[in-house]
Structure 1
């Protein structure tokens, strides 16, 4: 089968489209013939974490397709089922943190940038009927991350005020859509005027320049919840916009992972800080129910043929996208 494989060299230079062996599902597994796949920032990190001396690895975490083989003992999944793939491996129930052994599809196990993928049957779910194949293929990792950040860790409720710095990524656009669907007021930032305008079209109540004066832009208004998916570049600016007793949920560090924190301001503010990453199978099902109820669709930036993986990765690395980047398989 055709696949995008990383081996032999560090970074993007180690990627190529090559033929890989078609695997057969073992007991409890299914094989999915993929129609589409989705790109995530994690795929860029994998190119660093996967060493040149490691065995060849098919990258990619997101995908959707049709089940074409079922392993022994599998119930509830049939050949011909149209499914989306949950890339959160080994984390079934909603818990404070993932259990030991938790992994994400695409490292260390072969991922979705291929014509087929073999995965545990518990990691596939029926494709939401309101989603196209392009939308279904880019959904899972970003939407699951956003759902847990907002609802499990952030305890989002109707009427709350939410700040999302750095609108533009797939997760950030889901955060915006989910929070609005839940009845929150949503404020976003970006260095791009185009991305701010798009966020307003998606329902953001305010959108302003990340490099500006946030207090002035918000007119002194404070928020209940900040979802920090940028990192050190915005963390302390975010904290200043939080009301006393408010919550910060963080999962991103693309703009720096070391923050200087004024502890006195933090404890006098009675702030709460939660980390998060991905989510459980239980939250994945909740997320699918939520997007079906509210008919939410991923914001699609662009879809490439699989052979144009370099163009897609470069677009993400340069932060040119607004929403999700995907592949036709």
Structure 2
């Protein structure tokens, strides 16, 4: 089979022929039709990720169909030919509050989804929402799981609350905005691009602002009619202090990434006097994944796909993601 692999950091990813995996006991072989990129793939390539072990087939997001069952696959597993999505990790564990120490994300060190086939434990394979095509389905797993847990498990977003999604344009942030709107929240966004802001407004968010604007917190809270009950962020860094200012008394700030680095000089008084909750969140359990897929199905949510490229152009797809040109998910078409 063909797979997009990375041999060493700071090197281009390349498509090559590798052996097709055989499902072991309790496993399912999935023929992948589409796979989506995540910034994690770029960070591995640049050597900015912990515990890098190469060479490896990259990719955590995959959509396809069941090709074969291994021995001892449990009753109730998706049948051969079923359109499915792959849970984007392994070994979360039984504790819902946090992942086990040996939890890993697909695509390093374990072989990922940038390939024609993948084998996974049967419990990691879920039927794909029927209203999605393979490219849309591939855009959902890691981003949807992260957004769902951050918004509903950790921050406990409620209908009618005022929610700010920071840095909209990336796949997780867009899905968080879509999820919160579907849940009945009033959603506002920030972005560093006026073009991305216009596209977010077309999607139905209440309003937003370019965070490069001077005094954006004051301007946006005035537009929104007050500060925000929930703020969803992936950047952290020095800008996190602005989010504290934008939060309502008793508000919750949940963040699932730190692309701008550590949070310097956070003023404790602003946090404790406003009774704020600052929450960390990362991906989600298989239980969260199943709940997210049900939510997507019930609400007819369609992930935003930025661009679809063939597997052979995987390196170009990685460069597009690195340049932050995307609005939504960059997807590789495999078959």
Same fold (TM over 0.5): yes
**Partner of residue 43 from structure 1, selected from 41, 44, 63:** 41
Measured against aligned partners, the alpha-carbon deviations of 1:33-71 in whole angstroms (never above 9, x if no partner) come to: 110001111111222257999442000000111111211
**Partner of residue 284 from structure 1, selected from 284, 289, 295:** 289
3-state SS of 2:239 partner: helix
The answer to whether structure 1 residue 4 and structure 2 residue 9 are counterparts is no
> What is the deviation of 1:77?
2.7
What TM-score, normalized to structure 2?
A: 0.94
Measured against aligned partners, the alpha-carbon deviations of 1:114-164 in whole angstroms (never above 9, x if no partner) come to: 111111111110111100111011210000000000000000110111111
- Is the 2:148–2:288 Cα contact (8 Å) retained in structure 1? yes
- Is the 2:12–2:315 Cα contact (8 Å) retained in structure 1? no
Equivalence map 1:26-175=2 (5 Å):
26-47=24-45, 48=47, 54-75=53-74, 76-91=77-92, 93=94, 95-175=96-176
3-state SS of 1:218 partner: helix
Q: Distance in 1 between matches of 2:273 and 2:156?
A: 22
Match of 2:260 in 1: 255
After superposition, the CA RMSD in angstroms is 1.7
113 and 299 in structure 1: CA distance in 2 versus 1, 3 angstrom threshold: same
325 and 268 in structure 1: CA distance in 2 versus 1, 3 angstrom threshold: same
- Point out where structure 2 has 5 or more consecutive residues left out of the alignment: none
- Is the 1:94–1:281 Cα contact (8 Å) retained in structure 2? no
Aligned residues: 327
Match of 1:207 in 2: 208
Q: Distance in 2 between matches of 1:55 and 1:210?
A: 37
- Point out where structure 1 has 5 or more consecutive residues left out of the alignment: none
- Is the 1:165–1:234 Cα contact (8 Å) retained in structure 2? no
What TM-score, normalized to structure 1?
A: 0.95
279 and 52 in structure 1: CA distance in 2 versus 1, 3 angstrom threshold: closer
- Is the 1:14–1:52 Cα contact (8 Å) retained in structure 2? no
Match of 1:240 in 2: 245
> What is the deviation of 1:216?
1.8
Match of 1:216 in 2: 219
Q: Distance in 2 between matches of 1:53 and 1:91?
A: 19
3-state SS of 1:257 partner: coil
Measured against aligned partners, the alpha-carbon deviations of 1:266-307 in whole angstroms (never above 9, x if no partner) come to: 111111011010000111111011010100000110000011
